[in-house]
Amino acid sequence: MAEFTGNPTYRRKMIPAELGLLTSEDLFHHSFGCAAIGMALVSLDGRFLMVNTTLCNLIGFTDDELVGRHYGEFSYPDDLEIDLQLQKQTLLGDRRSFQLEKRYVHQDGSLIWGILSVSLVRDLEGAPLYFVSQFQDITERKRIEQKLEESRLRYLSLLKHNPDIICTLDETGKLVTINPATRRITGYTKQELIGKTLLPIVMPEQWQQVKNMFFQAQQGLIGHAEIQVIHKQGHLLILEVSVVPMIIHNQASGIYVIAKDITKRKRNEVMIDELHTKNQLILNAVSDGIFGIDEQLGTIFWNEAAKRLTGYTYDEMVGKNPFLILTQACEAEQSMGLTSQLPLYRSMLEGAHDYDSNEIFYKKNGDPFPVEYMSSPIYDHGRIVGVVITFKDIKERQKTEEMLRKSDKLSVVGQIAAGVAHEIRNPLTSLKGFTQFLQSGAVNKKEYYEIMLSELNRIELIITEMLVLAKPQMVNFQPKSLEMILNSVVILLETQANMSNIQFTMGIQEDLARVLCEENQLKQSFINLIKNAMEAMQDGGQIDIVLRAEGSRHVQIVIKDQGEGMPEDVLARLGEPFYTTKDKGTGLGIMITNKIIEDHNGHLLVESKEGEGTVVSVTLPVHQ
Ligand code: ADP
Ligand code: MG
């Protein structure tokens, strides 16, 4: 009979009476077969000789499946090597027994963790017989241990990689742990911080606040505040700090301080505020109305001038489409696409910088006023997110222009009046002479009357032209023949030309289409141009006036003189109001002419060579 290699003293002890009735088989059955711990007898070469039910249940194989097989077949390969080695050492007598944590592979593939205790049974001579191994399942404990380890690692990595300061304080407020971000943000080393309070690095005026937060946390309350902290290098940091009680087993046992560095954000906020204020100042300082609209066409800003010019306040416009309000257009018009050609929409859709000099806005009180406005897209990262519109009330300017036009016209009238008066005096003298003749009963009456009539006609013509020019401007566009207009202008100026020894030649193409125009305005512009030509020829000469078709859609009037011409600097400044080289000039003629031609959708071109003369061409669209 084999014996256990246990403590030999046990063998000498008496078997208690209650067990006396049991056979050794019963004993074995109870202590091995029914043991709550997995047990096996294992041959010296590692095969299972006998296994108990607990072990079978633990690793999911039946008695039959296990007995006769090597335990290595059921062990987790990583754990096998050490098991085999310990077994070998035991066999060699280096140790009497061994214990290790190992895993078996359950029949379903899962791993079963256990503590394996193995001892060697020898016969009386000490020759090894078999191993007795016990296997205690610790899978559940291992699982919990692993979970704990995982959560510990998670916590550590959270601390380590968190960009914010996370530190713990003990009940007296001294730092116990800090994470790497704490060092990075404050510039202090671990040694400089651990075991001290945070106060030395906080701005003194906030000490009380920090202390209060700490005391509150000790009462279990979480506190938040913006705290100014001094970096080791001396500069100021703004931290968004949370102080959180650390509750373990329902007891506050320390404090977490979590802090985010918001210095940059704060600085940006201040900068944005300043920028905003500056923008607002600029927006409100300019005299032009400025407003912005977003992609939904709602007002996003509205400056003081816009308010002054329209009477609407920002509050009244915010979120609304200012354009519909200012032009009194209705949504229907907009949705029908009638307004899609507006600069505003072109800026929004195509990114165009557009301009409109001919729009009417309505004030809050209903008064209309003429405006000129610019619209430009607002970009954000390359995308159009809105439109900004700058507008001007041009009523005053229009008035000034009108006044200038009138004043120039009056001066032209004044200048020609002298020539005209001279011219009228001649026929009047002859009329007077003939009347005296007739009075004295002279003969050849018919011939006299004819001459008198023609003189009277001439006077009438001149007077009519004078009246036409003196009439107030009424913008009334009508199709007119340019030939007729040019002829009447030439008649008006001829007398003065004669006095200056200037001849006109007229080259007029026949049957030209008519031009949609305001006759008086066109007359005035031709008078201005021809008078300039005359004034450039102090010694007299010839002025060629040509009227011809220019393509199928335009007509052109060319006035060519043989005058002194213009040097380049004069040519460059042509059209500037009040720019004149003449003693009695107004410097308004070209400007007004240009404006009139533009109003007629035409074009004025001046070419000149000093000492040779000037060619002025006016191109106008024909009336279709
Ligand atoms: P003003 O005739 O009152 O000087 P304008 O605007 O008509 O004003 O002309 C401006 C200037 O342009 C003139 O002073 C003159 O120097 C120059 N100029 C205009 N037309 C001619 C021309 N045909 N030949 C030479 N100079 C001209
Ligand atoms: Mg002039």
* CATH ID of 398-621, from 3.40.630.30, 3.30.420.10, 1.20.120.1690, 3.30.565.10: 3.30.565.10
Q: Is 571 in the pocket of ligand 1 (CB under 6 A)?
A: no
Q: Is 585 in the pocket of ligand 1 (CB under 6 A)?
A: yes
Per-position b or e across 458-471, b if 16+ CB within 10 A of its CB: bbeebeebbeebee
Q: Give every strand in the sheet of 236-248, ordered side by side.
A: 175-178, 165-169, 251-261, 236-248, 223-230
**Closest ligand to residue 575's CA:** 1
Ligand 2 center from residue 590 Cα (angstroms): 6
The 10 Å Cβ neighbour count of residue 323 is 23
Give the Å distances, CA to CA, from 446 to 136, 435, 443, 453, 559: 156, 13, 9, 10, 41
Residue 28 above 70 pLDDT?
yes
Quickly name the fold that domain 16-138 has. Answer: Beta-Lactamase (3.30.450)
Ligand 2 center from residue 529 Cα (angstroms): 7
- More confident site: 491 or 331: 491
Indicate the length of the chain as a whole number: 624
Ligand 1 center from residue 534 Cα (angstroms): 10
Ligand 2 center from residue 179 Cα (angstroms): 86
**Closest ligand to residue 574's CA:** 1
**Atom nearest to 580 CA in ligand 1:** 14
Q: Which amino acid appears at position 130 of this protein?
A: Y
Q: Name the closest-CA residue to atom 19, ligand 1.
A: 532
In this prediction, residue 416 carries a pLDDT of 59
Q: What is the distance between the alpha carbons of residues 470 and 520, in angstroms, rounded to a whole number? A: 9
Task: Confirm or reject CATH 1.10.540.10 for domain 162-266, answering yes or no.
Answer: no
Token pair belonging to 298: 């709602």
Nearest one of 520, 519, 606, 597 to 561, comparing CA atoms: 606
Q: What is the distance between the alpha carbons of residues 455 and 448, in angstroms, rounded to a whole number? A: 11
Q: Is 527 in the pocket of ligand 1 (CB under 6 A)?
A: no
Least confident of 244-258, 451-465, 483-497, 556-570: 451-465
Q: What is the CATH number of domain 286-392?
A: 3.30.450.20
Pairing of strands 502-508, 541-550: parallel
Q: Which secondary structure element, helix H or strand E, spans residue 323, and what is its range?
A: helix 322-327
Q: Is 614 in the pocket of ligand 1 (CB under 6 A)?
A: yes
* DSSP letter assigned to residue 102: E
Sign of CA dihedral 496, 497, 498, 501: positive
Token pair belonging to 566: 């213009």
Task: Read off the pTM.
Answer: 0.42
Q: What is the distance between the alpha carbons of residues 430 and 451, in angstroms, rounded to a whole number? A: 9
- The four Cα atoms 26, 28, 29, 33 give a dihedral, to 10 degrees, of 170
Per-position b or e across 383-418, b if 16+ CB within 10 A of its CB: eeebbbbbbbbbeeeeeeeeebbeebbeebbebbee
Backbone angles phi, psi at 234, to 5 degrees: 105, -15
- More confident site: 97 or 346: 97
Q: What is the DSSP string of 327-344?
A: HT--HHHHHTTTTTTSHH
Q: Which secondary structure element, helix H or strand E, spans residue 158, and what is its range?
A: helix 139-161
Let me know: does 114 contact 137? Beta carbons within 8 Å: yes
pLDDT in tens, 384-395: 898 998 998 888
In this prediction, residue 233 carries a pLDDT of 95
Q: Is 609 in the pocket of ligand 1 (CB under 6 A)?
A: no
Let me know: does 489 contact 526? Beta carbons within 8 Å: yes
Q: What is the distance between the alpha carbons of residues 559 and 547, in angstroms, rounded to a whole number? A: 9
Q: What is the distance between the alpha carbons of residues 617 and 594, in angstroms, rounded to a whole number? A: 11
Let me know: does 169 contact 257? Beta carbons within 8 Å: yes
Tokens 């996370």 belong to 166
Least confident of 102-116, 250-264, 398-412, 541-555: 398-412
pLDDT band of 357, cuts 50, 70, 90? confident
**Atom nearest to 579 CA in ligand 1:** 10
Token pair belonging to 561: 């003189």
Ligand 2 center from residue 525 Cα (angstroms): 10
Token pair belonging to 246: 């650390």
Ligand 2 center from residue 567 Cα (angstroms): 16
Token pair belonging to 584: 């009695």
Q: Is 563 in the pocket of ligand 1 (CB under 6 A)?
A: yes
**Atom nearest to 411 CA in ligand 1:** 3
User: How far is residue 555 CA from its own chain's centroid?
Assistant: 49
**Which among 590, 605, 618 is the best mutation to test ligand 1's pocket, defined by most ligand atoms within 8 Å of the CB?**
590
In this prediction, residue 422 carries a pLDDT of 64
Least confident of 33-37, 151-155, 388-392, 584-588: 584-588
Token pair belonging to 76: 């987790």
- More confident site: 583 or 208: 208
Q: Is 259 in the pocket of ligand 1 (CB under 6 A)?
A: no
**Closest ligand to residue 581's CA:** 1
pLDDT band of 483, cuts 50, 70, 90? very high
pLDDT band of 6, cuts 50, 70, 90? very low
Let me know: does 370 contact 393? Beta carbons within 8 Å: yes
Ligand 1 center from residue 607 Cα (angstroms): 12
**Which among 407, 411, 532 is the best mutation to test ligand 1's pocket, defined by most ligand atoms within 8 Å of the CB?**
532
pLDDT band of 91, cuts 50, 70, 90? very high
Give the Å distances, CA to CA, from 351 to 298, 388, 430, 459: 18, 11, 71, 60
Q: Is 390 helix (H, G, I), strand (E, B) or coil?
A: strand
Ligand 2 center from residue 614 Cα (angstroms): 13
Q: Is 261 helix (H, G, I), strand (E, B) or coil?
A: strand
Give the residue extent of every domain in the chain: 16-138, 162-266, 286-392, 398-621
Contacts for 287-292: CB closer than 8 Å, 24+ residues apart: 288/390, 288/391, 288/392, 289/390, 289/391, 289/392, 289/393, 290/388, 290/389, 290/390, 290/391, 291/317, 291/322, 291/388, 291/389, 292/378, 292/386, 292/387, 292/388, 292/389
Tokens 């003429």 belong to 370
Q: Is 524 in the pocket of ligand 1 (CB under 6 A)?
A: no
Q: What is the distance between the alpha carbons of residues 92 and 85, in angstroms, rounded to a whole number? A: 11
**Closest ligand to residue 570's CA:** 1
Let me know: does 402 contact 390? Beta carbons within 8 Å: no
Q: Is 525 in the pocket of ligand 1 (CB under 6 A)?
A: no
Q: Is 589 in the pocket of ligand 1 (CB under 6 A)?
A: yes
Ligand 1 center from residue 483 Cα (angstroms): 24
pLDDT band of 53, cuts 50, 70, 90? very high
pLDDT band of 4, cuts 50, 70, 90? very low
Examine domains 286-392 and 398-621 and report if their fold is the same. no
Q: Which amino acid appears at position 159 of this protein?
A: L
Q: Is 159 in the pocket of ligand 1 (CB under 6 A)?
A: no
* DSSP letter assigned to residue 448: H
Q: Which secondary structure element, helix H or strand E, spans residue 57, and what is its range?
A: helix 53-59
Let me know: does 85 contact 100? Beta carbons within 8 Å: no
User: How far is residue 160 CA from its own chain's centroid?
Assistant: 36
Ligand 1 center from residue 291 Cα (angstroms): 42
Average pLDDT taken over every residue of the chain: 86
Which residues, in sequence order, are CB contacts of 331 under 8 Å at separation 6+? 324
The 10 Å Cβ neighbour count of residue 112 is 20
Give the Å distances, CA to CA, from 459 to 160, 405, 420, 491: 107, 26, 9, 11
Can you point out the beta strands (E) in 170-267?
Answer: 175-178, 223-230, 236-248, 251-261
Q: Which amino acid appears at position 554 of this protein?
A: H
Listed in sequence order, the DSSP H helices in 67-125 are 77-91
Residues 532-554, mean pLDDT to the nearest whole number = 94
Nearest one of 544, 546, 528, 538 to 593, comparing CA atoms: 528
Let me know: does 466 contact 420? Beta carbons within 8 Å: yes
pLDDT in tens, 36-52: 899 999 999 999 999 99
Q: Is 445 helix (H, G, I), strand (E, B) or coil?
A: helix
Ligand 1 center from residue 579 Cα (angstroms): 8
